[in-house]
Structure 1
Amino acid sequence: MRANILCCWACLLLTACSLPREVTAPDMAGKDRDRPGRMLNIRIERWDTLRFSGLLGVRETASGLDYVLLDATGVKLLQAEVAGDGSFTLKQESGPLHKSGLAPFLSEALARIYLQEPVRLPCTGSWLYRLCREDQDGSSVKYGQAGPFTVWRITGKDPEGDAAVIYHQPWLGVKVKLEGLESGK
């Protein structure tokens, strides 16, 4: 009996973090394809300790998303392309971020923020993993849920708006905050 329970938990853990079979990316054809990039402030915290603060350049493409991570002085530290499923192609990694492991994490977070949407609202997926989005009072909450547990959560509006977007992985204690740059400052 005990072995069966452990086997069930192992299967749940192995399959819970995978994407549901039906995950769509917003249509990137037409006007979105020519959409200009945007520059955002990025702040990465782990257990309420600041780990990185700088700038993030993001541009949507037909195949997903291109991004570049800059330090506060504008030096390029990381550049990559991201697909809707979170897979990425690393173009450049330098300075203190060389072989830091930030590229896979940031690529997956940006795919979840910008590219992944449930096929049907509010949720899509199975009981093992569900991708959900709820819109309330002009802001939205998007989250991934493994069984009864929230694996990650995104709150706020698009960084082009007034509010910040916060990506949170509660089990790892990680928060990524994206805010649009204020014009004229």
Structure 2
Amino acid sequence: MIATVTLHRAPGHRQRGVLKAGPRVLPCALGRGGPGVLKREGDGVTPAGGPLRPLWGYWRADRGPRPTTALRMIPTRADDGWCDAPAHPAYNRPVRLPFAASHETMWRTDALYDICIVLDWNMEPGRARDRGSAIFAHLAKDGYPPTEGCIALARRDMVWLLARIDRRTQVSVSA
């Protein structure tokens, strides 16, 4: 298992990164606000510092087999969501749709969450309102455009990485 994954900005790009995992260096997308230490809800910043840890993942079973990984993987359902409303008691937690407060839809029409890993940013204990929610490692769009604060990888790179990480893996992001 890979114990540490490090992520740095790609030279000359604030919103693109390079992720070093064991012997591989993988391109990735970062948040539209680039990496930063002062993360706030909706700012598009990828939280820097860390370490972040992968907690569990989701995958779209109708779009592919369960990825090989030591992480717990949950098949996504059409009613899966993630609360991103800072004032709501379910802030930064999975929820069932329909859900009245602001939320992410986990069953997306694009392929971004076909494989999605929940990182432990602003999770229990110590979850703080407005400190940022739904920080995932997920699939990237072609060309690696910026995310809303997540780390996005090509499908082949995500599959490779998942086979080599577990809950003890530390993900460190440089500002």
TM-score normalised according to structure 2 size:
0.27
Q: Which of structures 1 and 2 has the bigger CA Rg?
A: 1
Greater strand fraction, Structure 1 or Structure 2: 1
Tell me: higher relative CO, structure 1 or 2? Use CA pairs within 8 A at least 6 residues apart.
Answer: 2
TM-score normalised according to structure 1 size:
0.26
